[in-house]
Amino acid sequence: MAEKTLEERGRALEDQFFEKENAAKLSAMKGKLDAQQSREDLRKASGMTDDAVLDKLVTLGLKSNTIAALSLVPLIAVAWADGSIQDNERTAILQGAHGKGLEQGTDGYSLLQGWLKTKPSSELMDAWEAYIKTLSASLNEEQNRLLKNQIIGFAKMVAAAAGGILGFGKVSGDEEKILNRIEAAFPH
């Protein structure tokens, strides 16, 4: 009888082990499926077809309902160039967000608020550059010129917002480096 109990306990322990293994495998499969769904949703929302770029965006936590925030990454990078975001820069970025349809209470706005509070990793700017390069390949010369002028114009506005007389006019060397990096992401 004691042997049967030992055998039963052994089976129960084995079952518990496999239950945990299966739960881990199911969780990994669910994570992979969620990432694939996020990639497909991003593909539809952005028109992007490059899987490597889409995977990078998913890894960074971007979803179809936060893709509009990606267009603000250059502004965030310029604002953080000197190590902190000034109030004038924050205001300029939030105005840009409003212009992109990012309103308080949306996922994209929440993502943006996180970037305004804590400096994002350099991977975010890397992902933005890859996104712009891929997007630019699907645009004609005029569309690229307009997109480039709009993004660089807004980025320069943010850079100028924190310096100079009454908050306008002076762009720091660190901000200038980021502005050059933004410009270099577009085809010449």
64 lies in a domain?
Answer: yes
150 lies in a domain?
Answer: yes
79 lies in a domain?
Answer: yes
- pLDDT score recorded for residue 183: 94
- pLDDT score recorded for residue 59: 78
Highest mean pLDDT among 14-28, 54-68, 148-162: 148-162
Rg (CA), the chain: 23
127 lies in a domain?
Answer: yes
27 lies in a domain?
Answer: no
34 lies in a domain?
Answer: no
Does residue 185 carry a pLDDT above 90? yes
pLDDT tens digits, 30-52:
767 777 887 887 777 666 677 77
pLDDT tens digits, 70-117:
788 999 999 999 899 989 889 888 888 887 777 888 888 888 899 999
Q: Check if the beta carbon of residue 62 is closer than 8 Å to that of residue 46.
A: no
Domain residues for the domain of 119 are: 44-184
Q: Which two tokens stand for residue 79?
A: 């604002």
121 lies in a domain?
Answer: yes
Mean of the pLDDT values across residues 124-152? 85
Whose CA is closest to 125, among 173, 162, 91, 80? 80
Q: Check if the beta carbon of residue 54 is closer than 8 Å to that of residue 43.
A: yes
87 lies in a domain?
Answer: yes
- CA distance readout (Å), 20 to 16, 24, 26, 32, 150: 6, 6, 10, 18, 52
Mean of the pLDDT values across residues 119-125? 91
d(CA 23, CA 29): 10
pLDDT tens digits, 4-29:
677 776 677 666 666 666 667 767 77
Band of residue 130 on the pLDDT scale cut at 50, 70, 90: confident
Task: Please state the domain count of the chain.
Answer: 1
- pLDDT score recorded for residue 165: 45
- pLDDT score recorded for residue 58: 78
Q: Which of 60-64, 140-144, 163-167 has the lowest mean pLDDT?
A: 163-167
